Amino acid sequence: MRQDTMPSPRRLRSSWASWGLALILGGSLPLGAADVVLASNTTVGTPAGSIPRTAPGAEHPAGPLSAAEILNASHTIDQLLDADLAAHQVKAGVKTSDEQFLRRAYLEMIGRIPTFDEATAFLTSRKSSKRQELVHSLIGSEGWISQQYNFWADLLRVETRLNDRYPGQPYIDWLKQALRDDMPYDQMVRSMLTAEGPAIEKGNGAAGYYVRDAGMPLDNMSNTVQIFLGTQLTCAQCHNHPNDKWTRKDYFEMAAFTAGTSVTRNLNPPGMAKGAGKGQGAGAAYRQIAQSTPEVKNAFRMLTYTIGLKVQAPNASTIALPADYQYKDAKPGEQVEAHAMFGEQPSVGARQDGRAAYAKWLTSPDNPRFTEVIANRMWRKVMGLGLVEPVDHFTDSTQASNPELMQFITRLMVGVKYDLRKFSEILYQTEAWGHMSNKQEYNPAEPYYFSGPLLHRMSASQVWDSLLTLVVNDLDAQKGPTAEGLYAFYDANKDKTPADIYQMAVSLGEKRVKLKAIQTEMIATRTAMDTATPAEIPALRAKIQELMESRKALDTDNDPLRALIGMAKQAGAGKQGEKRLMGAGGVGPLLRASELPSPAPAGHLLRTFGQSDRQLIDNSSDNPAVTQALTLLNGFIDSEVVSEHSLLTGTIAKISDPTDKVRAMFLMILSRQPTDKELSMALRSAASGGQAAVADVAWALLNTNEFIFIR
- Band (44; pLDDT cuts 50, 70, 90): very low
- Band (192; pLDDT cuts 50, 70, 90): very high
pLDDT 10s digits, 488-540 = 889 989 988 888 888 988 888 888 888 889 999 999 999 999 899 999 999 99
Mean pLDDT score, 207-217: 96
Domain boundary among 507, 535, 565: 565
Q: What is the dihedral of CA 37, 41, 44, 50, to 10 degrees?
A: -90
Domain presence at residue 43: no
Strand (E) positions, 533-572? Answer: none
Reply yes or no: is the peptide bond before residue 390 cis, omega within 30 of 0: yes
Measured CA to CA, the distance from residue 146 to residue 477 in angstroms comes to 11
Nearest residue to 191 via CA among 307, 305, 311? 311
Domain presence at residue 134: yes
Domain presence at residue 604: no
Give the total number of structural domains in the chain.
2
Nearest residue to 393 via CA among 523, 231, 269? 231
Domain boundary among 402, 423, 453: 453
Q: How far is CA 389 from the centre of its chain?
A: 21
Domain presence at residue 475: no
Mapped onto helix, strand or coil, the DSSP state of residue 513 is helix
> Cβ–Cβ contacts within 10 Å for residue 581, how many?
20
Measured CA to CA, the distance from residue 668 to residue 662 in angstroms comes to 10
Nearest residue to 318 via CA among 357, 353, 363? 353
User: Residue 196, by phi and psi: left (phi above 0), alpha (psi -120 to 50) or beta?
Assistant: beta
Q: Which of 3-17, 283-297, 384-398 has the lowest mean pLDDT?
A: 3-17
Nearest residue to 44 via CA among 368, 443, 473? 368
Q: Which of 27-41, 337-351, 684-698 has the lowest mean pLDDT?
A: 27-41
**CA-based Rg of the chain, rounded to a whole angstrom?**
29
> Cβ–Cβ contacts within 10 Å for residue 269, how many?
19
Domain presence at residue 73: yes
Domain boundary among 422, 453, 484: 453
Domain presence at residue 179: no
Q: Using CB atoms within 10 A of its CB, is residue 565 exposed (0-12), middle (13-18) or buried (19+)?
A: middle
Both 433 and 499 in a single domain? no
Nearest residue to 205 via CA among 109, 309, 303, 106? 309
Helix locations, 474-497, DSSP H = 484-493
Q: Tell me: pLDDT of 8 over 80.
A: no
Distances (CA, A) of 544 to 516, 540, 554: 15, 6, 15
Domain presence at residue 387: yes
- Band (690; pLDDT cuts 50, 70, 90): low
Please give the DSSP secondary-structure letter assigned to residue 277.
P
Nearest residue to 362 via CA among 353, 375, 371? 371
Q: Tell me: pLDDT of 270 over 70.
A: no
Measured CA to CA, the distance from residue 188 to residue 437 in angstroms comes to 32
CA angle 428, 430, 431 (to 5 degrees): 125
Write out the DSSP string of 200-230.
TSTT-GGGHHHHTTTT-HHHHHHHHHHHHH-
Domain, as residue range, for 548:
270-307+493-565
Nearest residue to 45 via CA among 430, 336, 471, 387? 387
pLDDT 10s digits, 632-669 = 888 899 999 999 889 999 999 999 899 999 999 999 99
Q: How far is CA 600 from the centre of its chain?
A: 11
Q: Using CB atoms within 10 A of its CB, is residue 601 exposed (0-12), middle (13-18) or buried (19+)?
A: exposed
> Cβ–Cβ contacts within 10 Å for residue 302, how many?
18
- Band (40; pLDDT cuts 50, 70, 90): very low
Measured CA to CA, the distance from residue 542 to residue 533 in angstroms comes to 15
pLDDT for residue 450: 92
Q: Tell me: pLDDT of 20 over 60.
A: no
Mapped onto helix, strand or coil, the DSSP state of residue 557 is coil
Strand (E) positions, 411-551? Answer: 456-457
Residue 692: which H helix or E strand, with range? helix 676-702
* Identity of the amino acid at 38: L
Share of the chain above pLDDT 70, in %: 83
Measured CA to CA, the distance from residue 556 to residue 550 in angstroms comes to 11
pLDDT 10s digits, 608-619 = 999 999 999 999
Q: How far is CA 115 from the centre of its chain?
A: 22
Distances (CA, A) of 552 to 144, 148, 460, 559: 40, 39, 37, 11
Measured CA to CA, the distance from residue 549 to residue 381 in angstroms comes to 52
| Length of the chain, in residues | 711
> Cβ–Cβ contacts within 10 Å for residue 49, how many?
10
- Band (560; pLDDT cuts 50, 70, 90): low
pLDDT 10s digits, 138-167 = 998 999 999 999 999 999 999 999 988 899
Share of the chain above pLDDT 90, in %: 63
pLDDT 10s digits, 82-121 = 999 999 999 989 999 999 999 999 999 999 999 999 999 9
Nearest residue to 111 via CA among 156, 153, 143, 135? 143
Reply yes or no: is the peptide bond before residue 184 cis, omega within 30 of 0: no
Q: How far is CA 125 from the centre of its chain?
A: 33
Measured CA to CA, the distance from residue 402 to residue 451 in angstroms comes to 12
* Strand pairing report for 309-312 and 197-198: antiparallel
Domain presence at residue 97: yes
Beta bridge partners of 309: 265
> pTM of this prediction?
0.86
- Band (440; pLDDT cuts 50, 70, 90): confident
CA angle 669, 179, 416 (to 5 degrees): 105
pLDDT for residue 60: 42
Please give the DSSP secondary-structure letter assigned to residue 34.
P
CA angle 109, 111, 114 (to 5 degrees): 90
Please give the DSSP secondary-structure letter assigned to residue 454.
B
